[in-house]
Amino acid sequence: MLDATTLEILTESAKYDVSCSSSGSTRANRKGGLGNASVGGICHSFTPDGRCISLLKILMSNECMYDCEYCPNRRSADVRRARISPDEICTLTINFYKRNYIEGLFLSSAVFDTPDRTMELLVETVIKLRKQYNFNGYIHMKGIPRADNALALQAAKYVDRMSYNIELPSEKSLKLLAPQKTRDSLIVPMKKLQTAITYDRENRVKKGRTLPAGQTTQMIVGASPESDGQILRLTEYLYRHMGLKRVYYSSYIPVVQSSLLPAKPAGLLREHRLYQADWLLRFYGFSIDELCEADENLSADYDPKCAWALRNMHLFPVEVNTAPLEMLLRVPGIGAKSAYKITEARKFCKLDFDNLVKMRIVIKRAKHFITCKGKFYGAEGEAARAALLIEGSCRSVSEGSEQLSLFSTPATGYSALTGQL
């Protein structure tokens, strides 16, 4: 029987991977099965720093043949090691699901023995969950770089989301900190899987997809010297040419000692700014060059949208009753939904500031960039910059938050194995 110590080691080893996207699945459920991965089928819970823990995040093994400098599970690290079998993972997932601890599984592994052998056991696990244990719930699996592509495509038939971690933003950093990995060993499997997903989407006959809804990846921020501009340019490439659903950013934490790594953490604020810029790229029509130069970092004082607006004050203020949607989306304090509300509401009447308040526009920010019926109530120039800086300081991201452990005590995990509360 799987013991609580092994469970603790493998769940704690998996906590640094933040790729827990769980939307977009249209996989058909098997009749009489357990769980549901359809849209709205996942119940999310969040840690104080905003990370999602709705899934059981576990490694099959933390015994790694690679020696990546930044990894707490690297070959030379002096840590407790453990490995569990496909059947143990299946039993654990089903027991946890029945007790409402989780709504799905996030499965990954360090590379033990060989990449192919590791991938074979991961594939065996998801096939058993689907066929033998009849599990309909959400499964996100991490692919193993350098493993045979046929194994990855086989796994993709049974999971809802599959991903490969790029981890470091450049080939130079990979050579320095993860010499066993190359850019091609990470990008090529992603390209092949995306080609298969696209073909499946365009040519499927049966209802529901037979391959996952999409891919995600993760990059470590601050372990290597790349700027935010370089990171975001890679992000834009992945969205446009690889069809990724999400790129996740993980702020570097010095959990292992190495002369090649920074002594201090990158901080959650930098990670937060990258997520904000990522959102603007995907949903607000911004380009990389508008947000950040290639060799620059995003502003720590202002969010990316606000920083852009302050650099382009000659474009403001805009009149909310006449400004095009594209311009409303660029006003700090006006989100995508609010911008669409404005364009619909102004068809019937002229909007004033009271109307915007009812639409939940963040007037404290937006008032510096808009007029309503020709009236302007904001500040200009340096006064506007100072007002936004003060307001932004009240919305800063905590630097001291830590991700919650899955288990408050070993007994909590053990009860799921034994069936005893």
pLDDT confidence tier of residue 137, bands split at 50, 70 and 90: confident
Question: Rounded to an integer, what distance in angstroms lies between the CA atom of residue 163 and that of residue 245?
Answer: 10
> Could you report the per-residue pLDDT of 306-336, keeping only the tens digit for each?
999 999 999 999 999 999 999 999 999 999 9
Answer whether residue 395 shows pLDDT above 80: no
DSSP bridge pairs for 218: 248
> What band does 284 get if pLDDT is binned at 50, 70 and 90?
very high
Confidence category of residue 419, pLDDT binned at 50, 70, 90: very low
Quick one: average pLDDT of 208-220? 75
Between CA 26 and CA 38 the distance in angstroms is 5
Residue with tokens 């493998």: 10
pLDDT at 241 over 50: yes
More confident call, 399 vs 35: 35
Which token pair is 285? 């029509």
Average pLDDT, integer, range 222-247: 92
The burial of 376, by beta-carbon neighbours within 10 Å (0-12 exposed, 13-18 middle, 19 or more buried), is given as: middle
Q: Read off the pLDDT band of 93 (50, 70, 90).
A: very high
pLDDT over 50 (residue 237)? yes
Report whether pLDDT(115) > 70.
yes
For the residues 147-158, what does the mean pLDDT come to? 91
Quick one: which H or E segment has residue 393?
helix 381-393
Average pLDDT, the chain: 84
Say which residue, 264 or 404, is predicted with more confidence: 264
| H and E: helices and strands count for the chain | 16, 8
Judge whether residue 421 has pLDDT over 70: no
Calculate ∠ Cα 416-417-421, nearest 5°. Answer: 40
The confidence score (pLDDT) of residue 271 equals 93
DSSP, collapsed to helix, strand or coil, labels residue 404 as coil
Average pLDDT score over residue span 121-144: 93
- Give the span between the Cα atoms of 286 and 289, in whole angstroms: 8
- Whole-number pLDDT of residue 418: 37
Q: What's the pLDDT score for residue 200?
A: 78
Q: Is the model's pLDDT at 403 over the cut of 60?
A: no
Higher pLDDT, 76 or 396: 76
pLDDT bracket for residue 111 (50, 70, 90): very high
- Rounded distance between C-alpha atoms, residue 239 and residue 401, angstroms: 29
- Band (pLDDT 50/70/90 cuts) for residue 402 is very low
pLDDT of 49 higher than 60:
no
Q: Whole-angstrom Cα distance, residue 54 to residue 40?
A: 13
Q: Residue 83: is its pLDDT beyond 70?
A: yes
Is residue 100 scored above 90 in pLDDT? no
Q: How confident is the model at residue 52 (pLDDT cuts 50, 70, 90)?
A: low
Express each pLDDT in 301-313 by its tens digit.
Answer: 999 999 999 999 9
Structural domains in the chain?
4-297 (3.20.20.70), 304-393 (no CATH)
In one letter, which amino acid is 60? M
pTM over 0.85: no
Q: What is the DSSP letter of 61?
A: B
Q: Where are the beta strands (DSSP E) in 1-103?
A: 55-59
User: Which residues on neighbouring strands pair with residue 15, listed in sequence order?
Assistant: none
Q: Taking the alpha carbons of 25, 130, 13, 40 in that order, is the dihedral positive or negative?
A: positive
**Angstrom distances, CA of residue 134 to CA of 71, 90, 131, 152:** 34, 10, 5, 21
